[in-house]
Amino acid sequence: MNRLEILYLQGAGKPPVQLSLSGSGNIRIRQGTSPQMANDFAMDVSNVKWNDVSVDQINVDPSEMRDIFQSLVDRGLFREPDKDFAAFAGRGNPAARIIGQLNTEPVARLVFEPEILGFIRDMLKVLDQNHRALEIRN
């Protein structure tokens, strides 16, 4: 099954966002400043930000999910990481950790390239706008 887990680090001072993308069309979005965001096995339950996690779920048609996966591949998901962009890692610049599987090919990649990061950022904006539109209608 096609599936990707994306931990998007937005940059200095901004909380991370975790996207879980399933080939069936399910998109789960977790965001917040809790230690649980970067570490699923975090144990710092006394941290004042422990409960700062929100989770949203959106379902799209599986064909739309294939388009999302294809867009990530077209932007270089399976290419070797660009060393020029990797030099900016750790300086408060956006980055993403992507793991999963697409068409039986394993994916395990740190991403610093602007083309992929821009696509992830734009996808988050669209998902947020759709979520807000649904809240207004309800």
Residue in this structure with the two tokens 């696509």, named with its chain if needed: 119
Please, what is the end-to-end C-alpha distance for the chain in angstroms? 33
The tens digit of pLDDT for each residue in 115-138 reads 999 999 999 998 887 766 555 554
Q: Which domain holds residue 25?
A: 3-137
The tens digit of pLDDT for each residue in 14-53 reads 889 999 999 999 999 999 888 888 777 888 888 898 888 8
Cβ burial 72-93 (10 Å sphere, 16+ → b, else e): bbebbbeeeeeeebeeeeeeeb
CATH value at residue 86: 3.30.1560
- Structurally, the chain folds into a number of domains equal to 1
